[in-house]
Structure formats: C-alpha cells, structure tokens
C-alpha cells in the first residue's frame, strides 16, 4: 500500500457506537496514530471532537456522505484502514466497501447482517483480491468472540484430526436503536437473504477434500454448561464456518454448534416465542414500519446500563481423542466491548504483521492470533478453563 495520510479513518463517528469507538481510540490509540473522523455533518463532528478532549483537538474532520461517491472515494484513498459504523449496512454499507475494494484500503465494520456480507462478497471480493484490500466484516460482538474463540480452542487440539466445537453464548445487556433497526431490517429480508446466500454458495464452492459443517442440535438442557440451550441462528456460526473452510488448522473434518444458553427454561421459552413473533411481524411491511418507530437509530443504553452489562462465551472442543474447554468473556457486549473490538481490529490491520491475504476475510483469517493478543491486552479474557486432556 502506498503511503496514506491516515492510518485509520472512522466513518459514522457521530452515531452511538461510532462515538464510543472514537472515545476508545482517543484514549487508547498508540502514540503517533494518524487518524481522522469522517461524516456528513461537520457540526456534529466538531462537537464530538471537542468532547474527546485536548488530545483530539487537532483531529482532522473529513467530509463523507454515502450519497456522494467522490467523498467516500476520497476517504478510502486517504486511509490505510476505514472503520464504518453506518448502518443498517444493507442500506448504507456498500459505497464504503466498494471504495475500499477499489482503493486497496482495509475495511472493518460491525455488521450482523448475513445478506449484506454475502452481497459484498459477490460484488467486491474479487476486486479486493486484485487491489490487496482486506474487507473484514463483523468485527464486534458479531462475530469476534466466537470466531476468535473457536480459533483459540482449535489451536489447543491436535493437528490433522477431525474436530468438533460447541459454543454457548450468555450475555446481559441492552441494545441501541441502530442495532434494533439493523436486526429488524434483516428479519424483513429473509427471502432476499436466502437467495443471495444460495448464489454465494454456488460461486464459492467448498474446501476441496476437507469437510466443514454446522450442527444445529435441538433445544435441551446441557449438563456441560448447566443451562438450557437453543440453536442461535445469527451470522456468527456462518463466520466461524468460513474461517474453518479457509484455514487447514481446523482439520480435515470440522463441525460447529452455536447455542444461546439461559439458566431458566421459562426465560428460554419466552425468548423463543418473542423472537418468532418479531420475525413473523417483520414480514408484513405495515407491522415492520410500526416496529421501526419503537426505537430510533442513535438511541442507546446509558453509561450505567453499559457498566452492568457482560458476556460469557464457553467453548467445548474435541479432536484426536482430546478435549479442551475455553472461555471468552468481558463487559458490555454490544457497545463497550464492541467498540474496543472494532478499534483494535483496525489497529491490527494498520500495524501488525499479518498473513498476506486479501479479499473478503473473516476476523480469524485476516488477523487471528495477533488480534487475540491485542484484545487480551485490552481486557477481554481468552483462557483455557481446562487444558487439553482425554475426551
């Protein structure tokens, strides 16, 4: 990459998660980091820069508007890495991906929208491979804990053997308006998402003789975790399986189960019924519009609510007659830790020695152990609860 004016540009910094990401960079970025804020409303950018304090007083503000292709291109051409928090990504994400793919600029976001990720692979993966750009989606609570947690687990099992990993997710916290709008939008586009996923599978193919697959399982009480569990059909298992297809370290036959875990059966039943009702309502345009008015973009949990939030991801891996139990855990999953994961992903791409890969990549494939080390130093816990022993 030719020398760029900025190491990192943050687009969407005046939104809820974008502002938290800016605050993280202002406090924890390495000395000498050349970074900038980008957006369409200069007054809001100036207010944010002032809120960041004296250390950010000289921070450059760049004009960038999704509706103005030239402004997005200029940002991409000026940066080594572009972070974008502007969603829903299916509505506002592609111009930034396209500009980065053309300019050979690394890209990170925090999307949990499978259709968007598949559309970007179909439209921009090959150009990014030619330009050298690394397009890394889902660099927040979707899907860092599971993608890197599975890599962390696999690395503690023998090589060259079939491996199975079960992942159990527990979390406490609330969500922002932007997250709600993105989820609602995705629920209303299930048919379109399935069509795009089929086209990606047709064009992408499978990893040769190696076998990689997901295991849905059934709702049950799992004695290992001491909780009721249900398959959790988010973007996260898709991300993990893509990492497994790309990396031979996951073995000749890799399988993965992804579950939400709760202590009490009535709570699990309520979550299941509520999610089903929300998905059904999102298929009807008037109902979806009414639901969208309940929580607008830009709204989010208070600092007090975020301080009480937490997440815990427990992973059980088996392979070659060995078994290991690992954990990824931290604080506020949706915002405090997500902004940390997003910022550290961008810094990892900008500064760390990484594999020579390009195109649309998962976090584990693009950054792997280097990002695990960064996040561990930043306070997110990756640890083996039980060292590898007989299965």
- Average pLDDT value for residue range 262-290: 74
Q: Are strands 310-319 and 322-330 parallel, antiparallel or unpaired?
A: antiparallel
Residue 253 has pLDDT above 60, yes or no: yes
Domain contains 1: no
Q: Are strands 220-222 and 106-108 parallel, antiparallel or unpaired?
A: unpaired
Same domain, 71 and 163: no
Residue 1 has pLDDT above 60, yes or no: no
Domain contains 209: yes
Contact (Cβ atoms closer than 8 angstroms) between residue 144 and residue 368: no
- Average pLDDT value for residue range 292-314: 79
Same domain, 112 and 77: yes
Same domain, 127 and 173: no
Residue 293 has pLDDT above 80, yes or no: no
Same domain, 188 and 95: no
State residue 299's pLDDT score. Answer: 63
- 39 to 106, 138, 194, 251: CA distances (angstroms): 18, 21, 32, 44
Domain contains 376: no
Q: Per-residue confidence at 2, pLDDT binned at 50, 70, 90?
A: low
Domain contains 104: yes
Same domain, 361 and 275: no
- 113 to 39, 192, 233: CA distances (angstroms): 22, 12, 12
State pLDDT tens for residues 69-114.
Answer: 999 999 999 999 999 999 889 999 999 999 999 999 999 999 999 9
Query: How many CB atoms lie under 10 A from the CB of residue 196?
Result: 19
- Average pLDDT value for residue range 353-380: 98
Q: Per-residue confidence at 182, pLDDT binned at 50, 70, 90?
A: low
Same domain, 200 and 224: yes
Contact (Cβ atoms closer than 8 angstroms) between residue 124 and residue 104: no
Same domain, 70 and 85: yes
State pLDDT tens for residues 199-252.
Answer: 999 999 877 889 999 998 888 999 999 999 999 888 999 999 999 999 999 999
Domain contains 265: yes
Same domain, 198 and 249: yes
Same domain, 42 and 114: yes
Residue 263 has pLDDT above 80, yes or no: yes
Task: Give the total number of structural domains in the chain.
Answer: 2
State pLDDT tens for residues 124-162.
Answer: 999 999 999 999 999 999 999 999 999 999 999 999 999
Residue 275 has pLDDT above 70, yes or no: no
Mean confidence (pLDDT) of the chain:
91
Average the pLDDT over each of 224-228, 278-282, 349-353 and give the range with the smallest value.
Answer: 278-282
Same domain, 151 and 233: yes
Chain mean position to CA 366: 13
Domain that holds residue 201: 144-332+381-390
């Amino acid at each position: 990459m030719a020398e760029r004016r900025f190491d990192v540009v943050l687009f969407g910094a005046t939104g809820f998660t974008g502002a938290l990401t800016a605050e993280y960079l202002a406090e924890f970025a390495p000395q000498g980091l050349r970074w900038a804020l980008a957006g369409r409303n200069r007054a809001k950018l100036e207010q944010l820069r002032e809120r960041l304090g004296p250390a950010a007083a000289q921070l450059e503000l760049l004009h960038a508007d999704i509706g103005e292709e030239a402004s997005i291109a200029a940002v991409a051409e000026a940066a080594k890495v572009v972070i974008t928090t502007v969603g829903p990504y299916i509505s506002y994400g592609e111009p930034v991906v396209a500009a980065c793919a053309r300019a050979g600029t690394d890209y990170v976001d925090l999307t949990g929208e499978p259709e968007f990720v598949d559309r970007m692979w179909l439209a921009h993966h090959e150009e990014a491979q030619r330009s050298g750009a690394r397009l890394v989606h889902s660099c927040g609570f979707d899907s860092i804990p599971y993608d890197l947690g599975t890599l962390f687990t696999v690395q503690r099992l023998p090589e060259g053997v079939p491996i199975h990993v079960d992942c159990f997710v527990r979390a406490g916290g609330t969500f922002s308006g932007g997250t709600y709008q993105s989820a609602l939008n995705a629920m209303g586009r299930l048919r379109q998402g399935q069509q795009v996923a089929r086209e990606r599978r047709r064009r992408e193919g499978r990893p040769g003789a190696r076998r990689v697959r997901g295991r849905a399982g059934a709702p049950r009480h799992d004695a290992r975790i001491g909780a009721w569990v249900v398959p959790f059909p988010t973007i996260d298992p898709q991300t993990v399986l893509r990492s497994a297809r790309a990396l031979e370290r996951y073995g000749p036959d890799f399988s993965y189960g992804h579950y939400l875990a709760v202590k009490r059966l009535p709570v699990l039943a309520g979550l299941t019924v509520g999610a089903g009702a929300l998905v059904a309502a999102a298929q009807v345009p008037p109902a979806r519009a009414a639901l969208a008015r309940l929580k607008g973009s830009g709204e989010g949990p208070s600092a007090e609510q975020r301080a009480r939030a937490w997440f815990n991801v427990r992973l059980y891996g088996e392979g070659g007659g060995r078994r290991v139990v690992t954990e990824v855990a931290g604080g506020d999953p949706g915002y405090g830790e997500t902004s940390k994961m997003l910022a550290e992903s961008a810094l990892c791409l900008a500064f760390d020695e990484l594999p020579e890969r390009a195109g649309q990549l998962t976090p584990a494939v693009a950054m792997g152990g280097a990002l695990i080390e960064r996040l561990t130093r930043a306070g997110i816990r990756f640890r083996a609860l039980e060292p590898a022993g007989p299965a």
